[in-house]
Amino acid sequence: MIESTDSSRAVAEVAAAVESVPTEAIDRAARLIVEAEKVAAYAGGREGLVMKGLIMRLFHAGIDAHAVGEMTVPHFGMGDLVILSCGPGQISMVMAIADTAKKAGAKILYLTAEPDIEPADRADEVIVIDAQTMARDNGSDAVLPMGSAYEIGMFVLVDLITRRVRGRRGHTAEQMRARHTNLE
């Protein structure tokens, strides 16, 4: 059985990650998404799972959204937005996608816990999630291992961003639900 103190500490670690992002940053992210012609997102590992969840929710919100690496991702350039996440920063695949997006003229929204590490310098907007990642987990007394607080906090934040997107587009929960697949 999990000790209640561990549960409370884990919830507190995630809450601190979510609350570290100012409302204005969530609003700016939603604005970038709504203004984009197309949106693509990428992150590696568990962050990648969160990004795929974001793409799914943006699709439900009526956004032309794609997960980088899927066969149906169209050409991206001017007027488009690429959303990247790399909690610890400087992961080669994220840096390569950032370079390609920038060269093509797409805007970049970047989520990270390390805003002073590449490829944050390539982004048009950086959202800093103040949470433990593998970049700073040595000697930590956190309950959640490695980058879990970042990843779980990020999951909550992308749903908050999607909620703002839905509000900016004037869509109801019923309209989102109507876009959900019926093939499952």
Please confirm, yes or no, whether 3 is among the known catalytic residues.
no
* 119 cis-preceded (ω within 30 degrees of 0): yes
The pairing of beta strand 39-42 with beta strand 65-67: parallel
Instruction: Spot the catalytic one: 3, 151, 174, 184.
Output: 151
Give the residue numbers annotated as catalytic, written as ranges.
151
